[in-house]
Amino acid sequence: MDITGIPFFLAVSFGGAFLAYLMNFAHRFLRNAVVLLTVSASAALLFWLGDETFSMEMGGFVLTLGKTPYSLFFAGIVALLAVPTVLFSFTYMAKEERPAMYYLNLLITIAAMYGILFSLDLLSLFIFWEIMTWSSFLLTIHKGGNATKAGVKYFLYSAAGAYAILFSVVILYNMSGSLLIEDVARSFVLQNPLMQLMLAGTLLFGFSVKAGLMPMHGWAPDAYAESPAPFTALFSGALSKMGIFGMGMVLYQIFLQSPFSLPVRELLAWAGGITSALATLRAIQQTDAKRLLAYSSVAQLGYIVMGLALGTPLSMMAALFITLLHGVFKAMLFFAVGAVYFRTGLTDLNELRGLIRRMPVSFLTVLMAIISLANIPPLGGFVGKWLLYESLIQSDHYFLVIVAFFSSTASFLYVYRLIFSIFLGQEEKEFEHVKEVPFLTMQLPMLALAAVTFITGIFPGIVLAPISSALTYLGFPIQHDMWSMSMLFNEWGNRMNLLAMISVIGTVFLTGFTILYFYRMRRTRYVTTKDIHTSGEVPTENENLTYAINFYQPFERAAHPVLSKSIRAWIDWIGRSVSELGDFLRHIYTGDGQTYAWYVVLFLTFMLAAGSWIL
């Protein structure tokens, strides 16, 4: 077998999963070695992947695999997050039950994502899509208990999306007689516009379920909150981006020529904007760290959809850049929250506090990640948002700018609450013995990703190069004057010099910090957080000085008209009604033979009575 071919690549990815499962019976170190080797081997093989496509006939259908620059970019994201994820899992999962099952599903999920990306036809895409859904479902319910409920919810949403995709795939196959995406695209333009609209609509619906676009986001908060933390990082960082991959493919490879393309994209852009604003407001309300991050993921995916739907070269660059960056910083945040959970067993923001001196590396990780998430220069998040805002303004979407900017500013609120509640504020006796997580398996993945946010903030060209080739493949005219290694340009010819930015920020910060640190802190002595200005009153040992519960009460009061409504509550209400209907039906279908016998007797009596009456 050719080792630069895609079959070999997928064989390694899937084979490693089963090998790791078998190795579990030998020794856990052996298993871990296989797991790590599998993901790093597939990450390395990405670099040597050959250009040839590979076809295989199965049951009368031809499955075609091959790489495109577009899929390679997404595969890069998967690989970038997969390695830290398994590394982080090693220690994290040592405490949890059924690790063998966890690694099997994790590796299958990763392999299935590669499969989706390297599918050139719709059937193999669908097959891998279902494998990914199944294995990620099993990972979601790994903890049992509440997780099962969250998992079933995730699965139901995914199933709805998958059927929508399957529906379109079948019709598209009937229309074009081929499953290859390029053939489908060619015959798609010949269909009548309404048919095109319906097919693209169902496909987009199916993919947007995975991306968690409102109102199809209902699964995300529960599934992200209940799944094991290292997997959640991959779940939110990479798996949900498969939806974005699919939407990009539908919008620009299949649907672009349709007369409905522009209105649909406009609608999608607004859906993305509203998603980001509403999900941000929800995130501000959350008291559980993982749920907060879950809503934040929904919001960030909203930005990506916005950029994707606008369809200008600059906005596409923004969308793909945020896709990568969101993966990186959200993985850091889920890792750090996982690290805190690993040491304290808590994710509740009302209970956690003051861990900064106990877990400084986790704190640094969260700090870097939230600076990136809040789009503040000089980290990578800023570059993505800069591109997005420029493209929004220049494509005349003025009100979308306001929506996007609102959610971006409001995100300061929840990121501050996250870092404040966990790491800052009063230090408590309860957490006195908490230690920082181990270096190699937990700190290293976090720090490595933190380095990525820093480097991409100064040299975004590293990421913009593969993005340009991906966009060129999708048919966008990307000129060389649109970006350079550390310089960004908009369509009006204005520029942003990131090297100048980092030199100013770096110089001033280092000067200021040096003055305060070496000149001051060395001469001062550390005092506890009880030793503070309290207007002359001396707080006793057990006095509670924490302000963490209901942290944004004033803001929630102001935003109450929006916050008091909920889409999820409506959908949950439908769910509850169905389940109540089921309960009612249980009174009839009791499962007891005696009752059924009575029904038969009653029915016969009724028939006899009715018959005799009619006759």
Partner 1 sequence: METLKTISGYFATIGVAFTVGFLFMGFRRILTARVQNRVGPPIYQNLLDIIKLWSKESAINHGLMQHMGPAFSITASVTTLMFIPVLRDGNWFQNFSFEGDLIFLLYIMVFGQLGMALGAGQTGNPNSAIGVSRGLSQIVGYEIPFVLALTALMVYHETTSLHEIMAAQDSIGGWNIFVNPLAFVAGIIAFLGMTHYTPFDVPFAPAELASGPPSEFGGKYLGMMMTSGSIFAFAKLTLFVNLFLGGASNLLELLVKALALYLIPVIIGIVTPRFRTEQAILFFWKWPTIIGILSILWVVWMR
**Interacting residue with partner 1 among 439, 513, 596, 599 (CB under 8 A):** 513
Of residues 7, 63, 57, the one with CA closest to residue 179: 63
The alpha carbon of 525 is separated from its chain's Cα centroid by a whole number of angstroms, namely 43
Which of 11, 58, 170, 521 is close enough to bind partner 1 by CB under 8 A?
Answer: 521
Tell me 60's DSSP state: T
Kindly state whether residue 127 participates in binding partner 1, applying the rule CB under 8 A.
no
- Where in 402-461 is the site for partner 1 (CB under 8 A)? 402, 405-406, 409-410, 412-413, 416, 419-420, 424-427
Asked if 209 and 80 count as a contact pair (C-beta separation under 8 A), the reply is no
Out of 40, 167, 529, 567, point to the residue binding partner 1 (CB under 8 A): 529
Q: How far is the CB of 588 from partner 1 (least distance, A)?
A: 52
Residues listed for the chain: 615
Question: 379-398: which residues touch partner 1 (CB under 8 A)?
Answer: 382, 385-386, 389-390, 393, 396, 398
Phi, then psi, of 286 in degrees rounded to 5? -70, 150
Cα separation, 524 vs 428, in Å, equals 22
Regarding 527 and contact with partner 1 (CB under 8 A), the answer is yes
For residues 317-339, one letter each, b for 16 or more C-beta atoms within 10 angstroms of the residue's C-beta and e for the rest, the string is bbbbbbbbbbbbbbbbbbbbbbb
Q: Which of 145, 345, 554, 593 binds partner 1 (CB under 8 A)?
A: 554
Cβ of residue 542: shortest distance to partner 1, in angstroms? 15
Q: How far is the CB of 347 from partner 1 (least distance, A)?
A: 19
Binding residue for partner 1, selected from 351, 357, 466, 568, defined by CB under 8 A:
357
Q: Closest separation between CB of residue 355 and partner 1, Å? A: 11
Compute φ and ψ for 538, nearest 5 degrees.
-95, 115
- 58: phi then psi, degrees, rounded to nearest 5: -140, 115
Which of 78, 374 has the CB closer to partner 1?
374
Residue 69 CA to residue 117 CA, distance in Å, equals 10
* Interface pick for partner 1 out of 174, 192, 524, 542 (rule CB under 8 A): 524
Stretch that binds partner 1, among 105-113, 167-175, 218-226, 511-519 (CB under 8 A): 511-519
- Please, which residues bridge with residue 605 across strands? none
Q: How far is CA 375 from CA 34, 229, 397, in A?
A: 38, 24, 20
202 vs 375, which CB is nearer to partner 1?
A: 375
CA distance 227 to 219: 12
Pick the stretch among 54-62, 94-102, 210-218, 368-376 that binds partner 1 (CB under 8 A): 368-376
Cβ contact 109:4 at 8 Å: no
Out of 481, 520, 542, 592, the residue judged to bind partner 1 by CB under 8 A: 520
Q: Using CB under 8 A, which of the segments 29-37, 167-175, 301-309, 375-383 binds partner 1?
A: 375-383
Kindly state the DSSP code that residue 32 receives in the 8-state scheme: H
* 376 contributes a contact to partner 1 by CB under 8 A: yes
Which tokens belong to 378?
Answer: 């000089």
Q: Least CB distance from residue 426 to partner 1, whole Å? A: 4
- Which residue from 497, 579, 595, 605 is in contact with partner 1, where contact means CB under 8 A? 497
Site for partner 1 in 232-271 (CB under 8 A): none
Residues 530 to 549 in contact with partner 1, rule: CB under 8 A: 530-535, 545-548
Closer of 405 and 473 to partner 1 (Cβ): 405
Which CB atom, from 217 or from 385, has the smaller least distance to partner 1? 385
Give the dihedral of Cα atoms 368, 370, 373, 378; nearest 10 deg.
-40
Kindly tell me which residue out of 41, 43, 166, 401 binds partner 1, with binding defined by CB under 8 A.
Answer: 401
Q: How far is the CB of 201 from partner 1 (least distance, A)?
A: 30
Q: Is the dihedral of CA 366, 531, 553, 375 positive or negative?
A: negative
Sole residue written with tokens 């204005």: 494
Q: Check residue 557 for interaction with partner 1 (CB under 8 A).
A: yes
Q: Which stretch binds partner 1 (CB under 8 A): 285-293, 495-503, 565-573, 589-597?
A: 495-503
Distance CA 184, CA 167 (A): 14
In contact, 373 and 388? CB cutoff 8 Å = no
Structure tokens belonging to residue 120: 């050139």
**The one segment of 37-45, 48-56, 267-275, 528-536 that binds partner 1 by CB under 8 A:** 528-536
The binder of partner 1 chosen from 485, 504, 601, 608 (CB under 8 A): 504
Structure-token pair, residue 219: 């699964």
Given the complex with partner 1, which of 192 and 553 has the nearer CB atom? 553
- Residue 409 is inside which H or E element, if any? helix 398-423
